[in-house]
Copies of this chain bind each other. A is one copy, B any other.
Amino acid sequence: MKYSAKILDIADRGVLLNASDARMVGVLEGDRVQIMNHASGLSTPAVVDITTTMIPVGVIGIYGLTNRTLLLVDGTEVEVWEAKKPLALDLIKKKMNHEKLTKDDTRQIIQDIVNDSLSQAELSAYVTACYINGLDMDEVEYLTHAMVESGDRLKFSNHPIVDKHSVGGVPGNKISLLIVPIIAASGLKIPKTSSRAITGAAGTADLMEVLAPVEFSAVEVQQMTEKVGGVIVWGGATNIAPADDKIIVVEYPFKIDARGQMLASVMAKKFAVGADLVVIDIPVGSSTKVPDMAEGRKMAREFIELGERLGIRVECALTYGDSPVGRTIGPNLEVREALAILEGGDEPRSLIQKSLSLAGIALEMSGKAAKGQGYQMAEEILRSGKALRKLRQIIEIQGGDPAVTSESIKPGEFEFVVNAQNTGYIIELNNRALVSLARIAGAPHDHGAGLLLHAKKGEQVNAGDPIFTIYADRDWRLKMAVEEGRRLMPVIVEGMLLDRIPSEYRGQV
């Protein structure tokens, strides 16, 4: 049946039908219709909401995200009919029933995800089934290929192409801001797509956005990389492995860490940008995704095996993940810290060492540096100012201001300093609590929000010394963070207590 489209500015997928029309089409709330724009040939399925007043009979309301596929304007005539059940449903049921998914099964599921043929509930069932029943390495390989095929790809004429990935879970991990310009300055190409924070305080894309726009198409990513050797963009805007972004949304509430899906997601993005050499940073620590070295080595082997199946050389670095990287958490603070190093600063050492180590591995893998000489070469590129110049080129080509300096980037105007209550050693920096605090202060949306750590694990502080400062762009956000900070106690200072316990014990004898 034919309907007149009315575009509704609701940032969701779906359509709104008058109850009487829904009955005519034969659908209930939550059922799916297929919508066809005959003029353009564009067509998509969409889940139905029902109204009796907001949309008159003969009109179909189209939500914003659904119209991204249909490209309708008010009044366009569309055809609407009850949609067929997506083929993926039977295949997801198969996975629920402990069966292995074939290459074709996987491709169908990913296609239905990318086409928005699945509801959030259906997608969640898929993700849950894969999490519980697991994916073997064949299934992971199929999933990687299916994700690559579902989106855009880069095709460089000159190789090798380098890429890096950090498995995540450690706050303040702004190393890409150092590694990408070092690699690009060495003459290699590194088209870095990165993520925004979902549960974290700042993803690499959130950081880069402080310096320049980060939303580009795959073609633009390729062109910019050809010109200046590297970019740092938000992967979500590129249409590279787009299924992954949809999967992450349903994983988010449960913090699901489905190993197979994670491997496929990371490597699909590397494969799609044409990477030949990939360095994977695996932070190991109690609050990261990898609690111990044994688990880290296992994950490294899986990345390497998947890389072999895809024709990508992978090296992994197990890194220290028990404390934040550097002394800052939150967009502006982290960018300022990274820029200061590129400008010649030699603090914090842990951040510099981690960045140079990972960059060095990539330089050795590519043959730019001899075995064992990668770190030193990376350090020379950093110290010579070449990395800073390269980052400025990258900022400029992405549309930012290349004259930016660390001095020009300010944290939020509202701040609160947390002081040590007693003299002692910092015995714990709780990553999760620190991230939570930075988020409550407004990160990553408020660029100025975040934390500056004045003391790190193992350092001694005296009573009254500042331990960390909370920054926020908005007053009420700061207040909330300060309140929450009292409850969370993200930093624990102990000293005298360690002495007192045996004293008391002796007292009782």
Contact = CB atoms under 8 A, between A and B. Distances in A.
Interface residues of A, number: 45
A93 interface: yes
A253 B122 contact: yes
A370 interface: no
Contact of A125 (B16, B89, B128): B128
A131 B54 CA distance: 38
A89 B132 contact: no
Interface stretch (A3-11, A141-149, A329-337): A3-11
Contact of A253 (B50, B89, B255): B89
B253 A132 contact: no
A124 interface: yes
Interface string A40-51: 000000000111
Interface in A231-261: 249-250, 253-256
B96 A51 contact: no
Nearest to A123: B121
A442 interface: yes
A291 interface: no
Given A125-B125, A250-B121, A132 B10 contact: no
A311 interface: no
A11 B51 contact: yes
Contacts of A123: 121
A97 to B, nearest CB: 8
A53 interface: yes
Given A23-B445, A121-B253, A29 B50 contact: no
Interface in A467-489: 477
A12 B49 CA distance: 6
